[in-house]
Structure formats: structure tokens, C-alpha cells
Amino acid sequence: MTSLGQVVQSVRKYRNFVRSEVKRVRNEPKAAEKILNRWREIRSEVGTTETPTGIKLPTLALPEIDEPGEITRFLLEEGLPGEFPYLSAAYPKQYLASGGSNGSSANSNEKQGEEPTRLFAGLGLPEDTNARLHYLSRNQQSKRLSTAFDGPTLYGVGAGARGVFGKIGEGGVAVDTIDDVERLYDGFALDQPRVSVSMTISGPAPILLAMYIAAAKRRFGPGVLPKLRGTIQADVLKEVQAQNELIFPIEPSMRFLADMVDFCVRAMPRWYPISISGYHIAEAGATPVQQAAYTLSNGFAYVDYFQQRGMSVDVFGPRLSFFLDCGLDVEYVALARVCRKIWALGMRDVFGANERAQKLKLHTQTSGRSLVAADWKNNLTRTAIELVLACMNATNSCHSNAADEPFTTPSEEYARYAAHAQAILLEESGLFRHMMNTLAGSPGMRVVANAVEEGILDEFEVIEEQGGVLGAVERRYQRSQIQAAAHLLESQISSGERSIIGLNRYTDDENRWPNLEMIRTDREKKQLHLDRLHEFHRQHADQSERSLDSLTKVVESDGNVFAELINTVEHCSLGQITNRLTEVVGKFRPMV
């Protein structure tokens, strides 16, 4: 049995444990008294707050139950926010406007008192994205920067390669060199705890992070490493299953990843070196349950792999983070909540991880796939609903899509509305700011959670049958399941079984197709980027080959490739490095 099979067992075992505990407290007066005392204690410790309209509320909503069995069920199945199994939330006070009357101060924990808003941006040249990042974060106390890269960068293809000129700076920022990374984050105090950087890239992730580190060292000195805060996606497995942006074969890709994770957990304690992502799985058409099942199982596969490499789960476990999609299907009422619970159980019972490693830290993005170009301003409403769902699932950070995304890199205007939507939900509305669990625990939410949990376990069992995640990947199981779900979704839309307002329902508006200015990168800018790259190659012509040879030696000697990459990027561009590495370890063979 692989570890995934053991996770299934541990979840089933936990269910039985809850059932027997409920029975026990109902039958044993002593146990009942103990749980009632604890419940009284919990209730008395909840802080209070007053709304602007003058009503007094507790900072944590608890169910009105007084029967020992029900109390036990609640505490074991859902847990209080920040308590095992973390179904309610990973942390006790996530969105609260203040820590509450007896809460800790907002500054005591980097997770608290920080806006969850993290908006994804990337367009044109590094200086264009830099300006957008400054614009987006201008009113934020905490600068949470999130970077989208263009196609050539995501594939590790140099901007000068044949046929990619048109793609420079389209759909994301063009980055080829360490100098580009310096321009990209210019003006941000990367050494300050209030600044964190997220880089959405997987195939060449180790190269990009090496550039980031090397660039940060240039600006802030060699002591900056432990201060750097942020995350890089680096999710190899979901690339194979859904997003198709992998460069090297799976085996060397996993090794490069493990080298990077190993380096980060030692030298960069505030960095999350992998973001285990369901987003792209869902965007490729997976159902919500498939998204959750494949993402979680990928996560467990990484834990397995890192442990086999000799890393301690208590050390790397807390540095893993997750990234999920939130769409409009009913499963999203509880999807991420269930994920937190299964992760906690698997980490605790199968991998023996400590409490910090049991907590699933979550970034959510509203669904891009749910947005349509037809009558596109409806997308504002779709995103708003998805945001509510994301916050009901107590996500730790969130990106809300701009309404114009189906057809362009977001304009400044719609990026602003997207950011403001989060502010309206969390600051203006009273839904989440006064109380934890305002919308939690409804009968519907519980029913959905149970159905989702069962669906995830079913998927786990099918993957287990194939020898675990890597076996299933080899058989292209996840890919074909995702593709089948995508076809079903498309056929439901074209048959009208699924309503998409403005697309297949209420399509009476003649002007429902967008007629807007697109955000594009003009030829002169693309040329400028290319000129810079050529200049970089010229300047480093003497050293680049030697650097690549040292890198090759490390790859062939089983040394830590990531540590060497931090040197390589001083003299070599992204394209040079990926070319050399594919010579040495081969290319990823795409699956169709």
C-alpha cells in the first residue's frame, strides 16, 4: 500500500473514532461531565466585539448545543478555528478586524492583521509589471506581490528563440535574466516582513527563484536570505496532469524541486518553496472533487518524496502551501474545509508530522474558467459570489479575477474592481470582520462536506490501485479524467443543461460581446527586451560557458543543483540554462 492508501485508512479510522467518542460521552457520565466543562470553558474564552450598529457579538460563533455527544462531534469533526482537524480554519482569527477583546495583537503573528488580498499581475516588460505591482499595492499595508510570467518564461525558452518574439510580455511578464528580476521588484523592500512575493511558475521555478535570491543579495546584501518572504509555485505534478508547462522529465524535475525545497527550508525559513496547486487542474476542466483529490494526493506524493530524500517532515511540512480554485459549483461551499481536514489527518497519522505541518495553508483564486466574454460584466457578479465562498472556506490569501480576463490581461480599471471586491467583502460588509464562523456549520455545508470527503476518498482509492500518484500519472489517469470532465462540462453548456448567463441564457443583448482595448505589448518593447537579453549574453560571454559547465558537473554529481543555480544565474540567462539542462537530463515528453 502506498501512503495514499494509508491516508484513506486514517480518514476512515478517524470517522470511527469520532463515532465511538460520541457514543462514549453519551454513555459515560464522567466523560460527559468532562466535555461539558470543556465546552463551558471554550465559550467563556470567546472574546466579544461590538458592531458599528451597536450590537454585541462573540468573536467566534459556536453552535447552540448542550448535549455532550453533539459537542464532541462538533469539536472532533470540525474543530475550533486553528484547532485540529482545522476544518473551520487553520488559524483562530483570520479575517477579524481586530484581535477581539482578549485576542492577541495583530502584530504577534505574520498571518494575522494582514489583508488576504494578493493580486496576480504580469504584463509586458519587468518595469511595466513593476509599475502595476506598485499600483495594486499602493493602499495595502502589507505588500503581497504576485507575479504572472509570459509563455516563453514559463517554458524556460529564451526570448530570442525562434518563433517566440510575438509572445514576449503577453499574458505575463517577460523575464530572462537576473537583471530582469531586479527591475521587476524594484522599489519594494524585499527584506521587510510586510513584503511577500509570489511567483507563479513551475517548470523553470528553481532557475527563477535562484535569480530572485541572487537579485535580492545584490540589493540587500548576502544576509537577506532568511528575511525573504514569499512563495513559488514549483508544482511539477500538476503540470503533468493539467497545465502542460514542464521542461524536464518528471524524475529530474522532482530532483531539482527537492534540491530547492531542501535549500529553502535550511536557508530561507520564511519562504514557501512549493505551492501545491489545484487551480490549473480545475481550470483544465476537473470537477471540484477531482481538483481536491488530485491536489491533495499530489501533496502527499511530495511529502513522500521529500521524506525519502531524508528531509524531516516537521521541517519542510510547515513550508508547504496550497493553491485552490473556487468556482460556482455547490461543492465549493465546503471544498477547502474538507481539504484542510484530510491534509491534517494524513500528515498527523501517516507521516507523523507536527502541528505546524498539519495545517494546510491556502491561497485561493476565483475561477477564471467560470468567466465568459459574452455579456462580460456579469463576471463581476460571478467573482463576487466566488469570493464569498472562498472566505467561507477561510482561505489564507486570495486572488479575485478581473472581469475582463476572458479576453485580455486585466486592465487597471478591472484589476482595481477585483481588489476592491475583496475589500468590500472583508472591510465594508460585516460578514467576516466581526466573527469567525459567521457562515459556517449550516446543515447544507455539512452535507456537502460529507459528500465531498467521500468523493475524494473514492478518487484516492482509484489512484492507489494504480500504484499511487506517480503510477497513475504514468498511465495518464488524472489527465484523462480531467479531459473527460472538461468534455462533459462543454457538452452541458452547449446543451443548455448548465446555464451560463449571457452565453446560453438571456442572450437578448445585441452588444454582449466585448469591444475593448486590449492590453498588449508593442513591438518596440519586445525588441527592447530582446536587445537587453543580447546585451546580457554579450557581457557574460566569457563566463557563461564556464558557469554552465560547473552546473553540469553538479547535476551529474548528484549535488544540490539549486545552490549552484544561484551562481549560474549571475552569468547565464534562463534560455541558456534550460538548454544546457535539457542536454544533460532530457526533455519532458508531453502527454496528450
Partner 1 sequence: MEPIRILTAVPICDGHDSAINTINLELIRHGIEVVYLGYHRSAEDIVRAAVQEDVRAIGISSYNGGHVEFFGEILAELRARNGQHIRLFGGGGATITKADAEQMYESGVDQIFFAGTSLGEMVDYVQRQFGAPIAHGEFEDPRSDRALAAMLTRIENGANPNSAGNRSDARKTKLFGFTGPGGAGKTTLIDELVLRFVRHLPDQRIAILSHDPSVMGLGALLGDRATMIYSQNDRVFIRSMATRGQTGGVSLVTQQSLRFLADTEIFDAILVETVGTGQEALPFEFSEVRLDASFLVMPPDYGGRLQLQKIAMLDAADVIVVNKSDLRGARTAVAEIQARIGPNRRAQRLLRTQANRHGDPGVDQLFQVLFPGQPKSAFEYTPVAHHSF
Answer yes or no: are the C-beta atoms of 372 and 502 closer than 8 Å: yes
Helices (H), 110-249: 126-136, 151-154, 178-184, 205-220, 236-238
Quick one: which of 393, 400, 422, 573 contacts partner 1 (CB under 8 A)? 573
Nearest distance from C-beta of residue 428 to partner 1, angstroms: 31
Q: Is 509 in the site for partner 1 (CB under 8 A)?
A: no
Q: What is the pattern of x (binds partner 1, CB under 8 A) and - over residues 254-293?
A: -----------------------------xxx--------
Q: Binding of partner 1 at residue 57 (CB under 8 A)?
A: no
Min. distance of Cβ 167 from partner 1 in angstroms?
Answer: 4
Q: Does 117 bind partner 1 (CB under 8 A)?
A: no
Does the protein bind partner 1 through residue 170 (CB under 8 A)? yes
Decide if residue 576 touches partner 1 (CB under 8 A): yes
Tell the residue number behind the cell numbers 443548455, with chain if given: 496
| By the rule CB under 8 A, 407 interacts with partner 1 | yes
CA angle 549, 205, 306 (to 5 degrees): 95
Give buried/exposed letters for 200-229 (b at 16+ CB in 10 A, else e): bbbbbbbbbbbbbbbbbbeebeeebbebbb
CB-based burial, 170-181: b 16+ in 10 Å, e otherwise: bbbbbbbbbbbb
Q: ∠ at Cα 252 (549, 169), nearest 5°?
A: 80
Closest to partner 1 by CB, 255 vs 341, is: 255
Q: Does 63 bind partner 1 (CB under 8 A)?
A: no
Task: Decide: is 490 part of the binding site for partner 1 (CB under 8 A).
Answer: yes
82: left (phi > 0), else alpha (psi -120 to 50), else beta?
Answer: left
Q: Which is nearer to partner 1, 226 or 586 (CB)?
A: 586
583 binds partner 1 (CB under 8 A): yes
- Let me know how many helices (H) and strands (E) the chain has, helices first: 23, 11
Note whether 579 binds partner 1 by CB under 8 A: yes
Which CB sits closer to partner 1, 32 or 247? 247
Q: How many chain residues are in contact with partner 1, going by CB under 8 A? A: 66
3 state SS of 416: helix
- Parallel, antiparallel, or unpaired: how do β-strands 143-148 and 119-121 relate? parallel
Window contacting partner 1 (CB under 8 A); options: 82-90, 139-147, 226-234, 570-578? 570-578
Q: Does residue 367 touch partner 1 according to CB under 8 A?
A: no
Least Å distance between CB 322 and partner 1? Answer: 21
Distance of alpha carbon 284 from alpha carbon 183, whole angstroms = 32
497 is a site residue for partner 1 (CB under 8 A): no
Q: Which listed residue (65, 462, 518, 541) binds partner 1 by CB under 8 A? A: 518
Residue 506 binds partner 1 (CB under 8 A): no
Query: Cβ–Cβ contacts within 10 Å for residue 30, how many?
Result: 8
Rounded Cα–Cα distance for residues 87 and 335 (Å): 10
Q: Which stretch binds partner 1 (CB under 8 A): 159-167, 344-352, 443-451, 453-461?
A: 159-167
Under the binding rule (CB under 8 A), the answer on residue 494 touching partner 1 is: yes
* Binding test (CB under 8 A) with partner 1, winner from 30, 56, 162, 538: 162
159 and 578 in contact (C-beta within 8 Å)? Answer: no
**Cβ neighbours of residue 75 closer than 8 Å, sequence gap 6 or more:** 35, 38
HEC assignment per residue over 133-156: HHHHCCCCCCEEEEEEECHHHHCC
Cα-based distances in Å from 371 to 281, 377, 383, 415, 418: 16, 9, 8, 14, 13
Q: How far is the CB of 47 from partner 1 (least distance, A)?
A: 47
Q: Residue 290 in contact with residue 459, Cβ under 8 Å? A: yes
Q: Which of 315, 373, 380, 388 binds partner 1 (CB under 8 A)?
A: 373
CA atoms within 13 A on the CB side of 456: 33
- In angstroms, give the least distance from the CB of 233 to partner 1: 14
Instruction: Give the shortest CB-171-to-partner 1 separation in angstroms.
Output: 4
- Contact segment (CB under 8 A) with partner 1 among 46-54, 56-64, 94-102, 241-249 equals 241-249
- The one-letter code for the residue type at 457 is L
537 binding partner 1? (CB under 8 A): yes
Question: Does 457 participate in binding partner 1 (rule CB under 8 A)?
Answer: no
Contact call for residue 161 and partner 1 (CB under 8 A): yes
Among 47, 58, 171, 269, binds partner 1 (CB under 8 A): 171
**Closest Cα to residue 360, out of 277, 237, 464, 286?**
277
Q: Give whichever of 19 and 475 is closer to partner 1, judged by the CB atom.
A: 475
Q: Is residue 5 near partner 1 by the rule CB under 8 A?
A: no
The stretch near partner 1 (CB under 8 A) out of 11-19, 52-60, 93-101, 487-495 is 487-495
Nearer to partner 1, 25 or 174 (CB): 174
Whole-angstrom Cα distance, residue 280 to residue 286? 9
Least CB distance from residue 324 to partner 1, whole Å? 18
> Cβ 504 to partner 1, closest distance in Å?
9
Strand (E) or helix (H) holding 275:
strand 274-277
Strands 56-58 and 48-50, sheet pairing: antiparallel
Calpha distance 294→413 (Å, rounded): 35
Residues that bind partner 1 (CB under 8 A): 150-152, 154-155, 157-158, 160-168, 170-172, 243-245, 249, 251-252, 283-285, 372-374, 406-408, 475, 483, 486-487, 490, 494, 503, 513-515, 518, 520, 537, 545, 549, 552, 556, 573, 575-576, 579-580, 583-592
